[in-house]
Chain A
Amino acid sequence: MTQPVSPPRGATDKAPPAGPRPAWSTLVFRADVRTLSLLGVLAALVAIGGITKPDEFLDTRNLQLVLTQASVIGVVTVGMTFVITSGGIDLSVGAIVALASVWATTVATQEYGFGGILFTAVLVGVGCGLVNGLLIAYGGMVPFIATLAMLASARGLALQITDGKTQIVTVDGILDLGERDAYVFGVPPLVLVFAAVTVIGWLVLNRTTFGRRTVAVGGNAEAARLAGIDVRRQRLYLYLLSGLCCGIAAFLLIILSGSGQNTNGNLYELDAIAAAIIGGTLLSGGRGTITGSVLGVLIFTTITNIFALNNLQSDVQQIAKGAIIVAAVLVQRRTASTT
């Protein structure tokens, strides 16, 4: 007998849950608890900075500095967020930034001027990402191992290129971008690039098939494969994307420091992972948030700045960072278990 147990069809054909359409503002700013709590932490930090060093911290120049410093690691973190969301990890980001920054500032490259430096930085980043991606997606290597190998090799190559020397940039177009004259309504160009990368990253993760596939691969790679997604190609693209972000970050770093050094990007991998994790991206994959990652970067950068203004040494900073990571993850575990 054909007799479904559920209510008859007619009952299911009613209109979707009625009620007024949500206003645009609630759609755009429908921030979840996690984002709000991160904003709260950031607000608290700003308050602490404002109270302890009212003149220095809230000075426009200082705020510009904080945002500029956040830009380099921020761009790296956006790429890292994609990789972690897909269930992977990229330990080589710092080394790629270093390699891209020195390759783009060799005497030979600088002869090609602004375009040559930008092109080289991005190409080196994408090239390293390609190697990572091929090894992981098609060579079957564990991301941790493949990118650890890339970390070692890229750092080594960067040292070989520079011979340990700082490569000063002499191209005027690059140096000018770091000057105050280049600020757009008081916003440094680096921050604009960071903002653009953030917005594009958010859109790609949340509004495109690429983002959906990233989340699907991270949430359940086997299910994604059986649903017809090309999991390997997606993984390749993700490490390419991370490499691309590293190349952009290297370019920003060249503008910021006016030089290329093989020690650039030291421990960026840990900072980027930490920022993504406190932002709410799951280390096991399947859930990622660009907004959270960017807030995580801003929180860390602000802490560094406040500590520096108060003449606290970097050892104290490191301890505070560690404590924040633990606290953030514990809070997330609690909120996750109650929902």
Chain B
Amino acid sequence: MAPEPPLLSMSGITKSFPGVRALDGVDLDVVAGEVHCLLGQNGAGKSTLIKVLAGAHQPDGGTIRWRGEPVTLRSPIAAMRLGIATIYQELDLVEHLSVAENVHLGHEPTAAGFVVRRGAARASTARLLERLGHPEIDPARLVGELSAAQQQIVSMARALSHDVRLIVMDEPSAALDPDEVDNLFRIVGDLTAGGVAVVYISHRLEEIRRIGDRVTVLKDGRAVAGGLPAKSTPTRDVVALMTGRNVEYVFPERPAGPAAPVRPVLEVRGLAREGEFAPLDLTVHAGEIVGLAGLVGSGRSEILETVYGARKPTAGQVIVDGRPLKAGSVRAAVAAGLGLAPEERKAQALLMLESVTRNVSVSSLSRFSRAGWIDRRAELGAARAATRELSLRPDNPAVPVRTLSGGNQQKAVLARWLLRGCKVLLLDEPTRGVDVGARAELYAVVRRLADEGLAVLLVSSEVPEVLGLADRVLVLREGRVVHTAPAADLDEHRVLDLVMEGSPAS
């Protein structure tokens, strides 16, 4: 065979958005049949790059060659016609349509040009699902009724319903359990064996080691390394390329010893929600950070939201400073001194159209008002003090909160509770969408708040984060606490063993 040009060759791709240079001359070569991994921190340009590849964004400069021919990807349809399919992290399925209708959306098999042949659509969908190892998904079911993992399979079936040569997968394993991840890898293996190329985006280095062939590392909109061997490049080097540093996490030191008589602030007694998590007991003392470690689906976020009153428990109670809370009432929880920094910051915490000040003051409005009339000077002053306390950047609370980086948006949420004077801080995935540099700063902030007497309950899917930040760790598996220990007595492997096996050995 004559030397074939790469399937896809992108060179010098640039793309700017108002105020941001998202891509600053990125090169990427993908050959048929390989798994090409894209690595980079949040904000490195991965998402923009795959949107250019999917035809969703038009690059400002650079060339894209497909099988050696220069092409312009004017629209997602143009990309699809060439055989490029993208499976986004946020699934783009229509919940109220069936599996088969979703798979064939936009290219339904028709009779007489417009009558959808439902039988044919279902049959071909069933074949695709079979090929993906999920014959149990009924093509006639509504997508909204499926689990997240099943929806991802449907998304993949949709990609394969086209004559696809290249599949882009954006963090496909993020919402999957370990055995589902194995199935995903099997599918990826099948695809590449058939000559299809896969561009695989993941934060998990161990996955890249398992299935990747080559790695391209992005940083600040540039490809800092292209085509590294995925299996043999040392982790140290990869992390160094991503961060420009050699350490991934920097955690603050824990206080030397337990401060004088510790006072329990948050007590959870037999709290349970049918079908989500089993009766749970836990206590968080003033100045203590307690971590909940577990996989997606282990009930972590559900526990936090139930403690906060956003979900109604089926049993048990939450006690703050010795007083039981009214069950299922966020307002009672807030009044008692609880504060939640939720997992989905933009959807659950922030008022994106509003300034930092208004986002910070929203839970303490009565403090700045008399008979409903807001003293805006007092409000601004308090918001400024709270955001400075957390070194929020920029140091101007009048800016719209949407212009802030992920880490600073999280600080705005923390400032809200700081201003409110809360006693218990519930943190759900506090560093999601926060880049590595800003993480260390957030960790320091959380530790300092604890040192000042706050009780902190932390949930994170990143085991090193729980181990590094918390004083005490509860390991969860399928809604049940399987192990409790001081963080110092655990290591990452031990926790991963526990969350996967659930055997509380020793």
Contact = CB atoms under 8 A, between A and B. Distances in A.
Contacts of A1: 250-253
A305 to B, nearest CB: 35
Interface string A1-41: 11111110100110011000000000000000000000000
Contacts of A133: none
Contacts of A219: 351-354
A207 to B, nearest CB: 6
A228 B372 contact: no
Contact of A227 (B253, B352, B396, B416): B416
Interface residues of B, number: 48
Interface string B378-406: 00000010001001010110000000000
A224 B362 contact: yes
A209 B348 contact: no
Contacts of B350: 220, 223
A6 B374 contact: no
A55 interface: no
A286 to B, nearest CB: 5
A216 interface: yes
A215 to B, nearest CB: 7
A121 B362 CA distance: 35
A222 B347 contact: yes
A6 B391 CA distance: 7
A236 to B, nearest CB: 15
A286 B440 contact: no
Given A13-B388, A208-B369, A5 B351 contact: no
Interface string A258-292: 00000000000000000000000010001100000
B110 interface: no
A121 to B, nearest CB: 26
Given A1-B250, A1-B253, A3-B250, A215 B396 contact: no
Interface string B312-342: 0000000000000000001101110000101
Contact of B388 (A12, A227, A229): A12
Interface string B47-72: 00000000000000000000000000
Nearest to B347: A222
B347 A220 contact: yes
A213 B353 contact: no
A224 B363 CA distance: 9
Interface in A76-98: none
Nearest to A337: B18
B353 A228 contact: no
B209 to A, nearest CB: 29
B374 A209 contact: yes
Contacts of A210: 372
B19 to A, nearest CB: 11
Contacts of A229: 362-363
Interface in B403-445: 416, 420, 437-438, 440-441, 444-445
A6 B405 CA distance: 14
Contacts of A286: 351, 353-354
Interface string A192-225: 0000000000000001111011011001101111
A227 B354 contact: no
Contacts of A5: 437-438, 440-441
Interface string A122-157: 000000000000000000000000000000000000
B358 interface: yes
A170 to B, nearest CB: 40
A208 B373 contact: yes
B362 A226 contact: no
Contacts of A287: 353
Nearest to B379: A212
A228 B354 contact: no
B243 to A, nearest CB: 12
A227 B363 contact: yes
A215 B374 CA distance: 14
Contact of A207 (B358, B366, B373): B373
A7 B372 CA distance: 38
A228 B437 contact: no
Contacts of B374: 207-209, 212
Contact of A12 (B363, B391, B438): B391
B385 to A, nearest CB: 11
Contacts of B252: 1-2
A2 B335 CA distance: 32
B342 A226 contact: yes
B310 A216 contact: no
Contact of B310 (A4, A13, A225): A225
A230 B384 CA distance: 26
A220 B440 contact: no
B330 A213 contact: no
A226 B310 contact: yes
A2 B372 contact: no
A148 B12 CA distance: 56
A7 B393 CA distance: 10
Contacts of B353: 219, 282, 286-287
Contacts of A216: 351, 354, 358, 362
B352 A220 contact: yes
Contact of A226 (B340, B393, B396): B340
25 contacts: A2-B252, A2-B448, A5-B440, A5-B441, A7-B391, A12-B391, A16-B384, A208-B369, A208-B372, A212-B358, A212-B361, A212-B365, A212-B374, A213-B365, A219-B354, A220-B348, A220-B350, A223-B348, A224-B351, A226-B330, A227-B362, A228-B330, A228-B334, A286-B351, A287-B353
When A and B form their complex, which 4 residue pairs have the shortest distance between CB atoms, in order from nearest? A228-B334, A219-B351, A2-B252, A209-B365
Interface of A: 1-7, 9, 12-13, 16-17, 207-210, 212-213, 215-216, 219-220, 222-230, 282, 286-287
Given A215-B354, A215-B358, A226-B342, 16 more contacts: A2-B253, A2-B448, A6-B393, A6-B441, A12-B395, A207-B376, A209-B365, A212-B362, A219-B351, A223-B348, A225-B330, A227-B334, A228-B335, A229-B362, A286-B353, A287-B353
Interface of B: 250-253, 308, 310, 330-331, 333-335, 340, 342, 347-354, 358, 361-363, 365-366, 369, 372-374, 376, 384, 388, 391, 393, 395-396, 416, 420, 437-438, 440-441, 444-445, 447-448
